[in-house]
């Protein structure tokens, strides 16, 4: 019994083009502008990981570790941005494309009326074969 490996190789005389060579950066496209800004909490501390969206567009950005963001917008003048982060109130604000945007977020405070925790032993997750119930009443 014998095996043979056969391969096919096709070559083209045309030069390959790469996406990086043909794409125009967003900041150089006709009519595209960039809004830059910073997001802080009510104490002035920077907020990393805040999702920034342009209202009426699919443009999205996330703040870096210093709370800074850059997001492309299609028009010059004023745009409406929405900032969201778990544990903070959502913020919708209108900003100018010519000035840095400073967004301040406030904590989302939601109180629970009652929490009931029941249990009678402490065991590792691997050994647990039963179920647990957590009851929250508002």
The per-residue pLDDT for 97 is: 87
Q: What is the CATH number of the domain that holds 57?
A: 2.60.40.1120
Within a domain: 17: no
DSSP characters over 1-25? ------------SSPP--HHHHPPP
Helices and strands of the chain, counted as H and E runs: 1, 9
Within a domain: 25: no
Within a domain: 76: yes
Residue 13 has pLDDT above 50, yes or no: no
Within a domain: 112: no
Distance between CA atoms of 68 and 101, rounded to whole angstroms?
10
Within a domain: 71: yes
Distance between CA atoms of 116 and 131, rounded to whole angstroms?
15
74-100 residue pLDDT tens: 888 899 999 999 889 999 999 998 899
Its domain, for residue 47, covers 31-105
pLDDT bucket at 9, cuts 50 / 70 / 90: very low
Distance between CA atoms of 125 and 99, rounded to whole angstroms?
52
22-31 residue pLDDT tens: 333 444 445 6
């Amino acid at each position: 019994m014998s095996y043979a490996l056969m391969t096919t190789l096709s070559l083209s005389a045309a030069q390959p083009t790469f996406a990086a060579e043909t794409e125009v950066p967003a900041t150089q496209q006709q009519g595209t502008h960039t809004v830059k800004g910073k997001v802080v909490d009510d104490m002035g501390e920077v907020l990393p990981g805040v999702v920034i969206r342009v209202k009426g567009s699919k443009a999205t950005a996330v703040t870096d570790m210093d709370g800074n963001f850059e997001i492309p917008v299609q028009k010059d003048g004023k745009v409406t941005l929405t900032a969201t982060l778990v544990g903070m109130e959502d913020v919708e604000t209108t900003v100018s494309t010519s000035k840095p945007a400073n967004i301040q977020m406030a904590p989302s405070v939601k109180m629970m009326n009652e929490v009931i925790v029941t249990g009678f032993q402490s065991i590792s997750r691997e050994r647990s074969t039963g179920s647990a119930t957590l009851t929250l009443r508002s």
